Amino acid sequence: MLLSTPYVDHAPAAEETLLRCRELVRPALRTAVDRLHPWPRRVVSYSFGWVAADGSERAAPGSGGGTGQGVRPALAVLAAEAVGGACGSAVPGAVAVELVHASTLVHDDVADRGEQRRGRPAAWKEFGTGPAVLSGDALLALAVDVVSRVGGERSAQAVRLVSGALAGLVHGRSEEALFGSRPWAGPDAVRPAEYREAALRRTGTLLGCAAALGALLAGGSAGSVEAFGTAGRRLGLALQLAREVAGIWGPPATGRRPDHGSLLRGARTMPVVAAAALDQGVAGRLEKLLGGGEPLTRARAAYAAQLVEEAGGREFAVCEARRALESARDALDGLALAGPAAEEIDALAEFVVERRLRDCEDAGAVRMRVL
């Protein structure tokens, strides 16, 4: 059972694991993207941060020419090693999941009219809506193609895992899109359990797919593949909830005060949903602040954050994130894992969730609240 206290700084070990796995997967990822038609390939390479909009080899600021934090490929690689396989066996699965993830980012920016991604204009802003949508579609097709090339029975199983993940992503995204039309209070209001399930599908699906693919392609048993898929989904939920807490109370890239970024965007996140469920009076005030469709001023966003915190939304989301993290660990308890991979998974899981929570957590213990 993973305990949130006492806190151990897993950053050095986790960052070393992320770097090792990124370096293993990156060449295969770029090789796969190189198979695309030149037009979507340029948009895709830009979306990954590898090139500038004009196609020149200039990486996005802060990207290091990489693929983001790399939790998904790391999970695939570590799952392969944990079931006794070679790390390289997981690479096709890791590449496929990264391609799917990149597709969701491109498509989400189009759907949400998000103008910035990784510190520069989103793909649709640089290349147009049509090319961005086409490039996102190309990424999905390429992801399926990558795992189909593995060969043998496991290739067919891998394709099913990827297709199942795509279905889960669409389901979760659809549910979240509909939440915006739901009332803030009353019997038809979005409940935390509903939000939790949508987040599990939206974010947990890809991490679960990555972990399951790693175990599968390394020759793991059916039981280990299922266990790693469950652990990955639960870790994805924990990571999503931790991000949502940080999106309201976490420190911005510059400055010392929280920037309440998700509230400024009007996002209905778990802290907000939980606060509305815990306090009907707060639900009405949040509806006036966040439900009008107009951008908030920073002062009004700060007031909304205060309302959410006072109603218990922050505490609830933090506890849900830590509960999901513990549950992810529990999913692997019955497996005999090989080598140091188990410790690396532990360190990685704690690092990616706890660092966000610790960055924005007030002094004092967080009470457990269950709806």
Domain boundaries, the chain: 11-360
- In this prediction, residue 49 carries a pLDDT of 92
**213-257 pLDDT, tens digit each:** 999 999 999 999 999 999 999 999 999 999 999 989 987 654 445
How far apart CA 280 and CA 282 sit, in angstroms, is 5
70 class by beta-carbon count within 10 Å (0-12 exposed, 13-18 middle, 19+ buried): buried
Q: How far is CA 191 from CA 173, 201, 279, 281, 371, in A?
A: 16, 16, 12, 16, 9
216 class by beta-carbon count within 10 Å (0-12 exposed, 13-18 middle, 19+ buried): buried
- In this prediction, residue 336 carries a pLDDT of 86
How far apart CA 364 and CA 217 sit, in angstroms, is 44
DSSP 3-state helix, strand, coil percentages of the chain (rounded to 5)? 70, 0, 30
How far apart CA 2 and CA 179 sit, in angstroms, is 32
Please say whether the structural domain 11-360 has been given the CATH code 1.10.600.10.
Answer: yes
How far apart CA 135 and CA 29 sit, in angstroms, is 15
- In this prediction, residue 312 carries a pLDDT of 96
- In this prediction, residue 118 carries a pLDDT of 82
The partner residues of 67 in beta bridges, in order of sequence, read 69
All residues at 6 or more sequence positions from 363 whose CB lies less than 8 Å from its CB, including other chains: none
Helix, strand or coil for residue 10?
coil
How far apart CA 68 and CA 62 sit, in angstroms, is 10
**303-315 pLDDT, tens digit each:** 999 999 999 999 9
132 class by beta-carbon count within 10 Å (0-12 exposed, 13-18 middle, 19+ buried): buried
Q: Closest Cα to residue 362, out of 232, 240, 250, 244?
A: 250
For the chain, list residues with pLDDT below 50.
1-6, 64-68, 254-256, 362-370
For residue 6, cis peptide bond before it (omega within 30 degrees of 0): yes
